[in-house]
């Protein structure tokens, strides 16, 4: 007699084999230089239900480069656990050959040269091809969007998300949950959500005044697929009013609310759900922690922290699937559901190699239609880059170094601060920098670049506060971003220490002097969550700076010393 | 004097708790608790405290408490200058022994609920609520 747990573990091993053979194939194919669409899509249809997961697209309609992080430190129980394994260690863990397509797609290291060999990734026209192919195998597959969809580009900003709504509607998701969408403002969000032809879910989206579930966002929706009654429960980003400007959506309150999640799981099970899927924007470590506390969820489709994992992670009897960001990946998860139990699964993280996967023509035309009114603005070349420009990583990326330089020089500041967001595609050396590229790493509805005076003591308080949002050993106290990026100042951080003791050795780089807690410094930054922030838009600041430089060369930045990793 | 294993564990637990409290519970908190319980031992089952992990706004943090059969539930903010928040008293005709309120928190600290249960014993539950300046979500 095989218990359910044994069965899950067996199928986990089987899935690993499927995954491994998939990777092995890519690696061999790399040697043969013959990556094909059929091989990327190859999947032996399994069980009776298929889930398709996309998440954190950040309005990237067209193929882009996206470098995965080389620094992604785990703390507490997650120290050294995926997704906190990067570069060569990641490849070793999953048996990925150096220089292979999966090296390029999933890990950092040698990025610029591999990018030149394998080309761009993503593009929603390519994603449409993959979704259509899965639907050809399994016509009633569920397509689920984990959110951060209506944010992150020039066209998305100027259409207030309408370009993404039009394109996603054509992709026909069955449900969605939310994060950055709310920074469009609650009126605009309500306007879009009321017209959506699919479910807008969030068990943790509450009315702020009454602390009751918000009517506009149901907690779950039932689907009957392959003869199986499936409940999809939505989980929006828990810390929206803290990590983003709450004044833009004062009607709503969020939070993890795992006791309500448990109540919803129990409710849908009582209503006959044979399979429970959580469409989550918690972030990976929060999802792992939630899976250990809430029982009865079969699959968590995890978003927010932008991790791409080639195999699901098993917590108790729940599998957690992480599907990357920026349109770079699509996850397919086939489930065998028998008598209300998940008896096995098969999973594949499909990398969207833009030069290998044929664009879907209808979707390509629709995307061009969204971009046509802005074409000249998007394509204008502002400068060139001699350096790899990327953002992802716990500390400074080269894009942020460039943005901090722009802030210090254009705003005449001693110190610059750039938010530790995880979105923003990469550019490789030799690339033109277009206006679109600048907007891809700066676009937001609260992008004004402030300039103010702060004492050395207050700067430390900010660093300590943000550091605790990343390195608190309990994932429930993490917000899922990266460390605030600093220009003009160096510091040492011990990630294992408690809040208030992590940051030491703060130095003003231009003088080499220690930061004086009592002294005032001129600080320029952007993305303040405070209402009424004044200053020029960050994309204009960066554009002016790049225009003056002509060609951008970003020097290696070793001003942050990290210990305890 | 003999200590049972349970008592020893409880002592060790209390010591550890004091050590990790972000805003250390001051003596006033212990006094208020002692006054409420009359010095009786406090268990950990029977009262539920619901509070956010991270406050959306430290000036108005929603919490709720529930303790089936309880005659009273006291709520304390251990790190506030004045720790007392509220004591909810339930008469014999109360349909349910639960309550919700909002409180102001001076900073990251533990919120504590202590219930006087139907059998006269006491139960305690606590949760760390973080108050942050926020701003950098991915």
Of residues A358, A335, A153, A302, the one with CA closest to residue A227: A335
Contact A466 B54 (CB under 8 A): no
Q: What is the pLDDT of residue B2?
A: 45
Q: What is the pLDDT of residues A77-90, one digit of tens each?
A: 999 999 999 999 99
Lowest mean pLDDT, pick from A105-109, A224-228, A457-461, A478-482: A478-482
Name the pTM for this structure.
Answer: 0.91
B63, part of any domain: yes
Q: In this prediction, what percent of chain A has a pLDDT beyond 70?
A: 94
pLDDT of res. A480: 82
A27 or A106: which leads in pLDDT:
A106
Q: Which residue do the tokens 């011990």 mark?
A: A494
- Is pLDDT of A255 > 60? yes
Arithmetic mean of pLDDT, A351-371: 97
Average pLDDT over residues B108-122: 96
Per-residue model confidence (pLDDT) at position B133: 79
- Indicate whether A27 pLDDT > 80: no
State residue B8's pLDDT score: 39
Q: What is the domain extent for residue B92?
A: 5-129
In which residue are the tokens 């920026």 written?
A326
pLDDT at site B24: 53
Return the residue of B nearest to A210 by Cα. Answer: B62
pLDDT band at A9; cut points 50, 70, 90: very low
Instruction: Name chain A contacts of B52, Cβ cutoff 8 Å.
Output: 255
pLDDT in tens, A296-339: 999 999 999 999 999 999 999 999 999 999 999 999 999 999 99
Residue B112 lies in a domain: yes
Q: Which two tokens stand for residue A320?
A: 């957690």
pLDDT at B135: 65
Inspect the interface and report whether the beta carbons of A480 and B54 lie closer than 8 Å: no
| CATH number of the domain that residue B28 is part of | 2.60.40.2470
The confidence score (pLDDT) of residue A6 equals 42
With CB atoms and an 8 Å threshold, state whether A421 touches B138: yes
- C-alpha of A561 from chain center: 26
In a domain, B28, yes or no: yes
Q: Give the model's pLDDT for residue B27.
A: 75
Sheet-wide strand order for B98-103: B48-50, B61-66, B98-103
Distance from the A239 Cα atom to the nearest Cα atom in chain B, whole angstroms: 7
- Confidence band, pLDDT 50/70/90 cuts, at residue B55: very high
Decide if pLDDT at B3 tops 50.
no
A219 vs A228: CA distance, rounded Å: 20
Superfamily of segment(s) A380-563 = 5'-Nucleotidase, C-terminal domain (3.90.780.10)
Range name among A2-6, A46-50, A116-120 with the lowest pLDDT average: A2-6
Give yes or no for a cis peptide into A83 (omega within 30° of 0): yes
Residue A35 confidence (pLDDT):
87
Per residue in A235-249, pLDDT (tens digit) is 999 999 999 999 999
Average pLDDT over residues B12-36: 61
Closest residue in A to B107 (Cα–Cα): A465
Q: What is the pLDDT of residues A425-447, one digit of tens each?
A: 999 999 999 999 999 999 999 99
pLDDT of residue A214: 97
Q: Is B134 in contact with A528 (Cβ distance < 8 A)?
A: no
Collapsed DSSP state (helix, strand, coil) of residue A427: strand
Confidence of residue B26 (pLDDT cuts 50, 70, 90): low
Residue-level pLDDT at A479: 87
Residue A238 host element (H or E)? none
Answer yes or no: is pLDDT of B10 > 70: no
Q: Is residue B52 part of a domain?
A: yes
pLDDT higher than 90, residue B9: no
Write phi, then psi, for A32 (nearest 5 degrees): -85, -5
Q: Which residues contact B9 (CB under 8 A, 6 or more apart)?
A: none
**Whole-number Å distance between alpha carbons of A233 and B31:** 45
Which pLDDT tens digit goes with each residue over A260-275?
999 999 999 999 999 9
Count up the domains in chain B and report the number. Answer: 1
B36 lies in a domain? yes
pLDDT(A23) > 90: no
Q: Å from B135 to nearest chain A CA?
A: 4
3-state SS, chain B, equals CCCCHHHHHHHHHHHHHHHHCCCCCCHHHHHHHHHHHCCCCEECCCCEEECCCECCCCCCEEEEEECCCCCEEEEEECCCCCCEEEEEECCCCCCCCEEEEEECCCCCEEEEEEEECCCCCEEEEEEEEECCCCCCCC
Neighbours of A247 (CB within 10 A): 13
The CATH code for residues A4-368 is 3.60.21.10
Q: Is the dihedral of CA A186, A190, A196, A199 positive or negative?
A: positive
Tell me what the pLDDT averaged over chain A comes to: 93
Name the pLDDT band for B23 (thresholds 50, 70, 90).
low
Domain boundaries, chain A: 4-368, 380-563
DSSP code for A413 = -
In a domain, B86, yes or no: yes
For residue B75, the model assigns a pLDDT of: 97
List the one residue out of B101, B38, B133 whose CA is nearest residue A454: B133
Of B55, B57, B132, the CB nearest to A465: B132
Which one, of A62, A161, A58, lies nearest residue A442 by Cα? Answer: A58
- Cβ count within 10 A of residue A92: 12
Q: What is the rounded CA–CA span in Å between residue A497 and residue A503?
A: 9
């Amino acid at each position: 007699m095989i218990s359910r747990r044994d069965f899950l573990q067996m199928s986990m091993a089987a899935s690993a084999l499927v995954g491994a053979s998939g990777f092995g194939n890519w690696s061999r194919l790399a040697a043969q230089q013959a990556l094909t669409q059929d091989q990327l899509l190859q999947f032996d249809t399994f069980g009776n239900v298929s889930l398709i997961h996309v998440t954190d697209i950040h309005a990237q309609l067209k193929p882009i480069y996206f470098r995965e992080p080389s620094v992604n430190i785990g703390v507490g129980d997650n120290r050294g656990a995926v997704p906190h394994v990067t570069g060569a260690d990641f490849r070793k863990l999953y048996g990925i050959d150096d220089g292979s397509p999966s090296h390029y797609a999933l890990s950092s290291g040698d990025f610029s040269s591999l990018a030149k060999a394998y080309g761009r990734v993503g593009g929603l026209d390519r994603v449409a091809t993959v979704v259509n192919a899965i639907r050809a195998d399994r016509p009633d597959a569920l397509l689920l969007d984990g959110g951060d969809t209506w944010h992150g580009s020039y066209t998305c900003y100027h259409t207030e998300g309408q370009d993404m709504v039009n394109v996603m509607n054509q992709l026909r998701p069955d449900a969605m949950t939310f994060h950055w969408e709310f920074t469009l403002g609650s009126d605009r969000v309500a306007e879009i959500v009321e017209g959506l032809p699919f479910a807008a879910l969030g068990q943790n989206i509450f009315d702020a005044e009454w602390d009751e579930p918000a009517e506009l966002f149901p907690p779950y929706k039932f689907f009957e697929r392959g003869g199986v009654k499936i409940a999809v429960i939505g989980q929006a980003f828990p810390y929206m009013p803290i990590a983003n400007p709450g004044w833009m959506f004062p009607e709503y309150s969020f939070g993890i609310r795992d006791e309500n999640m448990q109540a919803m799981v129990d409710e849908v099970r009582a209503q006959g759900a044979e399979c429970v899927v959580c469409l989550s924007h918690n972030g990976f470590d929060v999802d792992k922690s939630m899976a250990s506390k809430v029982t009865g969820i079969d699959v968590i489709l995890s978003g927010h922290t932008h991790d791409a994992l080639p195999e699901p992670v098993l917590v108790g009897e729940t599998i957690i699937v992480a599907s990357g960001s920026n349109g770079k990946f699509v996850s397919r998860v086939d489930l065998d559901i028998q008598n209300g139990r998940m008896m096995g699964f098969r999973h594949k993280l499909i990398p969207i190699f833009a030069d290998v996967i044929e664009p879907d023509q209808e979707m390509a035309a629709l995307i061009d239609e969204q971009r046509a009114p802005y074409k000249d603005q998007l394509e204008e070349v502002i400068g060139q880059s001699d350096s790899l420009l990327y953002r992802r990583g716990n500390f400074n990326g080269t894009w942020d170094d460039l943005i901090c330089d722009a802030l210090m020089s254009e705003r005449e500041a001693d110190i610059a601060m750039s938010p530790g967001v995880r979105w923003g595609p990469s550019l490789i050396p030799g690339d033109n920098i277009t206006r679109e590229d600048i907007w891809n790493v700066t676009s937001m509805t609260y992008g004004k670049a402030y300039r103010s005076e702060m004492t050395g003591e207050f700067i430390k308080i900010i660093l300590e506060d943000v550091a605790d949002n990343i390195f608190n050993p309990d994932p429930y106290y993490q917000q899922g971003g990266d460390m605030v990026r600093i220009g003009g100042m160096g510091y040492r951080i011990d990630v294992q220490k408690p809040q208030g003791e992590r940051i030491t050795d703060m130095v003003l780089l231009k003088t080499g002097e220690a930061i004086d807690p009592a002294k005032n410094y001129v600080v320029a930054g952007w993305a303040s969550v405070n209402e009424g922030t004044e200053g020029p838009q960050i994309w204009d600041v960066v554009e002016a700076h790049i225009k003056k430089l002509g060609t951008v060369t970003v020097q290696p930045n070793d001003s942050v010393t990290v210990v305890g990793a | 004097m003999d200590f049972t294993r349970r008592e020893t564990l409880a002592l060790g637990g209390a010591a550890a708790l004091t050590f990790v409290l972000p805003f250390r519970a001051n003596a006033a908190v212990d006094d208020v608790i002692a006054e409420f319980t009359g010095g009786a031992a406090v268990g950990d089952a029977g009262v539920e405290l619901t509070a956010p992990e991270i406050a959306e706004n430290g000036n108005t943090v929603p919490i709720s408490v529930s303790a089936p059969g309880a005659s009273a539930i006291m709520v304390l903010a251990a790190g506030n200058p004045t720790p007392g928040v509220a004591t909810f008293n339930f008469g014999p005709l109360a349909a349910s022994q639960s309550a919700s309120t909002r409180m102001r928190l001076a900073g990251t600290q533990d919120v504590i609920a202590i219930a006087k249960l139907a059998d006269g014993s006491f139960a305690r539950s606590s949760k760390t609520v973080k108050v942050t300046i926020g701003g950098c979500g991915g």
